[in-house]
Amino acid sequence: MILSIESSCDDSSIAVTRIADYKLLFHKKISQELEHSEYGGVVPELASRLHAEALPKILEEAKEFLPHIKAIAVTNEPGLSVTLMEGIMMAKALHIALQKPLIGVNHLVGHVYSLFIEKEAVLPKMVLLVSGGHTMILDVRGYKDLKVLATTLDDSFGESFDKVAKMMGLGYPGGPIIERLAQKGDPNRFDFPIPLRHSSKLAFSFSGLKNAVRLALEELDNLSEEDMADIAASFQKAAITHLLQKTSKACELYKPKDFAIVGGASANMALRKAFEKECAKRRISISFAPLEFCSDNAAMIGRAAVEAYKMRDFIDMEELRAVPRSCFV
Ligand code: KG4
Ligand code: ZN
């Protein structure tokens, strides 16, 4: 079994995965969303203190598995350095106590493997990763064989939802709040610009769209419930259209047979529906991570770590460090 730890942002999570058949034997996550909500975003120092409290509590519940652990996996990149450190320190302590090897897992690779929890990996795939920290199109061929085909020039997809929610004073995380509001709104009331629609660049950008929302909000005097719903719906439509336009371009260039969407923001139903339609039109198969594994969790880190374990991709304790920004091209 592999014990995996995730603490790259605001979720403390530990999982135990059986190596032979990927079975998830234990999985628990304590989310800090409520604690960060009043600040409209994650406060790193608060997050790291909460991890320091939550991780030992979860580990206590996984105690019965410790004698069977063959390796300890931990997210070491990318993420907030102070929160990554909490997971890394626990992994190192377990490494010393259990005398088992360490595996450092890239959080983005973890999101990709959220597609294969308790399953065999089916690759190659073109993967759209939409989270709070990243918006990328990846060409995934294997655990150590990933290429970034497109990334964002500024904000990420999930982050733009968080910022729009913050502008309207609606709390954090903004994604689910905006999605819920959008269901009641008119997506055609505000004609927000689709980012980079006239550019041939295979890249994403959300800061211009976010500013367009800010201007629209400033022009409205007394923001009614209806105004907020219409802003949310019009913004969500523009953001999803942008993802669709650039992903379609990537499909024309790279001609994938299989496509998938992962990351916290892949829980968005409007996004899922829009891509299902587009993929059906293009005769490309589409898959998503199960809803419970879209946002950050240790199960996806454990699933990715099984691949690392099979390749004997271990890391020395001295070399295991938090890498806030990383690239695996
Ligand atoms: O993958 P994740 O849990 O953390 C990172 O690795 O960043 O993603 C969290 C992000 C947040 O920005 C959150 O607002 C966004 O995913 N998100 C959504 C939805 N649910 C979560 N964005 C749009 N629609 C949603 N339903
Ligand atoms: Zn994530």
| Backbone φ/ψ region at 100: left (φ over 0), alpha (ψ -120 to 50), beta | beta
Span 207-218, mean pLDDT? 97
The answer, yes or no, to whether residue 103 has pLDDT greater than 80, is: yes
Going by pLDDT thresholds of 50, 70 and 90, the confidence category of residue 328 is low
| Residue ranges of the chain that CATH labels 3.30.420.40 | 2-117+293-310, 125-288
Cis geometry, peptide bond prior to residue 176 (ω within 30 degrees of 0): no
**Could you give the CA distance from residue 287 to residue 276 in angstroms, rounded to a whole number?**
9
**Could you give the CA distance from residue 62 to residue 28 in angstroms, rounded to a whole number?**
9
> Is 132 a pocket residue for ligand 1 (Cβ < 6 Å)?
yes
Contacts of 43 (CB under 8 A, 6+ apart): 36
Question: According to the CATH classification, is domain 125-288 in 3.30.420.40?
Answer: yes
pLDDT tens-digit series, residues 45-77: 999 999 999 999 999 999 999 999 999 999 999
**Could you give the CA distance from residue 138 to residue 234 in angstroms, rounded to a whole number?**
27
pLDDT tens-digit series, residues 166-194: 999 998 899 999 999 999 999 999 999 99
Fold (topology level) of 2-117+293-310: Nucleotidyltransferase; domain 5 (3.30.420)
Report the sign of the C-alpha dihedral through residues 284, 285, 291, 296, in that order.
negative
Atom number, ligand 1, closest to the C-alpha of residue 11: 3
Q: In this predicted structure, what is the pLDDT of residue 40?
A: 81
Atom number, ligand 1, closest to the C-alpha of residue 296: 3
The whole-model pTM stands at 0.96
Span 308-315, mean pLDDT? 98
The H-assigned helical ranges of 255-316 are 269-282, 298-310
What value does the mean pLDDT of the chain take? Answer: 96
> Is 171 a pocket residue for ligand 1 (Cβ < 6 Å)?
no
Span 273-280, mean pLDDT? 98
Please choose from 108, 131, 155 the residue to mutate so as to test ligand 1's pocket, defined by most ligand atoms within 8 A of CB. 131
Going by pLDDT thresholds of 50, 70 and 90, the confidence category of residue 215 is very high
**Could you give the CA distance from residue 58 to residue 79 in angstroms, rounded to a whole number?**
21
The answer, yes or no, to whether residue 131 has pLDDT greater than 80, is: yes
Nearest to 238 by CA among 298, 184, 191: 191
